[in-house]
């Protein structure tokens, strides 16, 4: 106990020894003063509130067309994870919002939307047409913009026409102004936009699930984290023509290491498809025609490796995701086996797979391209 704390404790002990002898009004006044001082203690910072337009954007993109199979806690959490990535990628203000805070926020908002929708007698879809109206102001600028939306980017009528094919402005105007008799027309709007109609029992299932998750949020978050650790990870080892350089990337973390392009397997996806998808997302390279059907799992490592050879080192490379990949570079085998700090992790893996690479290099067929071309040119001239 510090000297200042001991002195404060002595003062408080003396004060409270005489506290009971004070009048009621004085006690009340002192209590309010003490409460005020207690409230001045530093509080844990709360995540910023997400504005309604962004919440509606998230609902439209990730939850409006949710399928019955996805009304399950594990599947729902994967959708929530994608929605969280979307939020922190496109809205820097919320970059520090944790996944747990986001899940609680969005599930409460979904429940509130369902409660509000249940009160709307003129809305057979349980979603207000204002949802689409708010999206029309910003949705189409999202994909290629580094800045927040321009709220005047697109009139609602133009947006509805775009998503519904041949749906005309006049029909839309009439639909918006109709009452209960317009239910069939409103259904047509959403069918034209290729959005399945939520059935009553599906909505009830979603509400029940959201309520259950919120009551046991920590349990479901831990379960989801544990489940993700069991998902197989697939990486792509990309080599140049001489097989002495490998293509690696590095994330934005403070202690990020250079790694193979890699990622977790998605629902109904093969390991090869995972490696192809992750490679394109992380470095912008399509290896679907070059990737070999050779896969191996280094000892005590958690990811499988597939191989691509003969990749030109002058290929233009660029990450297709935001704020995930910071650097992409070709690194020589000799440099990997050196002392560079950001290669420590990959160095451990390389020691384990070196024998596979040596064998592959010794057995591969090397064609003399220039000699072959000269031969064909000679025959063509004859």
pLDDT for 235: 92
Q: How many CB atoms lie within 10 A of CB 57?
A: 25
pLDDT for 90: 86
Q: Clarify whether residues 193 and 238 are in a common domain.
A: no
Residue 45 falls inside a structural domain: no
Q: Clarify whether residues 210 and 86 are in a common domain.
A: yes
Residue 378 falls inside a structural domain: no
Q: Clarify whether residues 127 and 190 are in a common domain.
A: yes
Residue 84 falls inside a structural domain: yes
CATH number at 348 reads: 3.90.79.10
Could you give the number of structural domains in the chain?
A: 3
Residue 332 falls inside a structural domain: yes
pLDDT for 156: 47
Final residue in a domain of this structure, among 222, 256, 271: 222
Q: Clarify whether residues 136 and 16 are in a common domain.
A: no
Q: Which residues constitute the domain of residue 359?
A: 234-363
**CB of 246 closer than 8 Å to CB of 239:** yes
pLDDT for 228: 86
Q: Clarify whether residues 9 and 78 are in a common domain.
A: no
Q: Clarify whether residues 242 and 324 are in a common domain.
A: yes
pLDDT for 30: 62
Q: Clarify whether residues 312 and 283 are in a common domain.
A: yes
List the chain pLDDT tens, one digit each, 382 residues.
Answer: 566 666 666 666 666 666 556 666 665 666 666 555 555 455 555 666 788 888 888 888 888 777 666 667 778 888 899 999 889 888 888 888 899 999 998 888 888 877 777 666 544 444 444 444 444 444 444 444 444 444 445 444 444 444 444 334 444 444 444 433 433 433 332 233 333 334 444 455 667 777 888 888 888 888 888 888 888 899 999 999 888 899 999 988 778 889 999 999 988 889 999 999 999 999 999 999 989 888 888 877 778 899 998 899 999 988 888 878 889 999 999 999 888 888 888 898 888 888 888 888 887 777 677 787 777 765 554 4
pLDDT for 35: 59
Residue 253 falls inside a structural domain: yes
**CB of 317 closer than 8 Å to CB of 327:** no
pLDDT for 279: 93
Residue 252 falls inside a structural domain: yes
Q: Clarify whether residues 91 and 161 are in a common domain.
A: yes
The full 3-state SS of the chain, as one line of letters, equals: CCHHHHHHHHHHHHHHHCHHHCCHHHHHHHHHHHHHHHHCCCCCCCCCCCCHHHHHHHHHHHHCCCCHHHCCHHHHHHHHHHHHHHHHHHCHHHCCCCHHHHHHHHHHHHHHHHHHHHCCCCCCCCCCHHHHHHHHCCHHHCCCCCCCCCCCCCCHHHHHHHHCCCCCHHHHHHHHHCCHHHHHHHHHHHHHCCCCCCCHHHHHHHHHHHHHHHHCHHHHHHHHHHHHHCCCEEEEEEECCCCCEEEEEEECCCCCCCECCEEECCCCCCHHHHHHHHHHHHHCCCCCCCCCCCEECCCCCCEEEEEECCCCCCCCCCCCCCCCEEEEEEEEHHHHCCCCHHHHHHHHHHHHHHHHHHHHHHHCCCCCHHHHHHHHHHHHHC
pLDDT for 1: 55
Residue 90 falls inside a structural domain: yes
Final residue in a domain of this structure, among 165, 199, 222: 222
Q: Clarify whether residues 93 and 209 are in a common domain.
A: yes
Q: Clarify whether residues 14 and 86 are in a common domain.
A: no
pLDDT for 102: 92
Final residue in a domain of this structure, among 195, 222, 249: 222
Q: Clarify whether residues 8 and 69 are in a common domain.
A: no
What gap in Å lies between CA 333 and CA 328, rounded to an integer?
16
Mean pLDDT of the chain: 72
Q: Clarify whether residues 100 and 132 are in a common domain.
A: yes
Residue 371 falls inside a structural domain: no
C-alpha count within 13 angstroms, C-beta hemisphere, residue 20: 2
pLDDT for 297: 82
Percent of the chain with pLDDT over 70: 60
């Amino acid at each position: 106990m510090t000297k200042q704390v001991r002195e404060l404790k002595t003062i408080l002990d003396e004060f409270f020894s005489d506290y009971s002898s004070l009048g009621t009004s004085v006690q009340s006044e002192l209590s309010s003063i003490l409460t005020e001082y207690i409230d001045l203690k530093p509080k844990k910072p709360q995540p910023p509130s997400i504005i309604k337009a962004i919440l509606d954007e998230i609902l439209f993109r990730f939850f409006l067309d949710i399928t019955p199979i996805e009304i399950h806690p594990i599947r729902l959490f994967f959708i929530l994870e994608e929605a969280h990535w979307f939020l922190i990628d496109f809205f820097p203000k919320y970059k520090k919002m944790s996944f747990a805070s986001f899940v609680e926020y969005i599930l409460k908002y979904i429940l509130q939307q369902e409660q509000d929708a249940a009160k709307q007698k003129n809305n057979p879809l349980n979603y207000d047409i204002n949802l689409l109206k708010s999206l029309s102001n910003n949705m189409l600028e999202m994909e290629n913009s580094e800045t927040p939306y321009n709220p005047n980017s697109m009139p609602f009528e133009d947006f509805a026409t775009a998503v519904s094919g041949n749906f005309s402005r006049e029909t839309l105007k009439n639909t918006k102004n109709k009452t209960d008799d317009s239910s069939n027309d409103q259904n047509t709007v959403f069918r034209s936009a290729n959005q399945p109609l939520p059935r009553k029992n599906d909505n009830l299932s979603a509400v029940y699930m959201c309520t259950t998750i919120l009551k046991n949020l920590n349990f479901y978050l831990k379960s989801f984290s544990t489940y993700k650790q069991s998902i197989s990870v697939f990486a792509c080892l990309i080599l140049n023509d001489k097989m002495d350089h490998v293509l690696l990337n590095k994330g934005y973390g403070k202690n990020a290491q250079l790694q193979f392009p890699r990622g977790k397997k998605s629902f109904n996806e093969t390991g090869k498809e995972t490696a192809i998808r992750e490679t394109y997302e992380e470095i912008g390279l399509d290896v679907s025609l070059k990737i070999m059907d050779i896969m191996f799992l280094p000892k005590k490592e958690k990811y499988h490796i597939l191989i691509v050879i003969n990749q030109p080192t002058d290929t233009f490379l660029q990450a297709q995701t935001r704020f995930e990949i910071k650097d992409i570079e070709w690194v020589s085998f000799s440099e990997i086996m050196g002392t560079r700090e950001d290669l420590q992790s990959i160095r451990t893996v390389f020691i384990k797979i070196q024998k596979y690479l040596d064998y592959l290099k010794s057995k591969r067929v090397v064609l003399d391209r220039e000699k072959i071309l000269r031969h064909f040119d000679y025959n063509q001239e004859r």
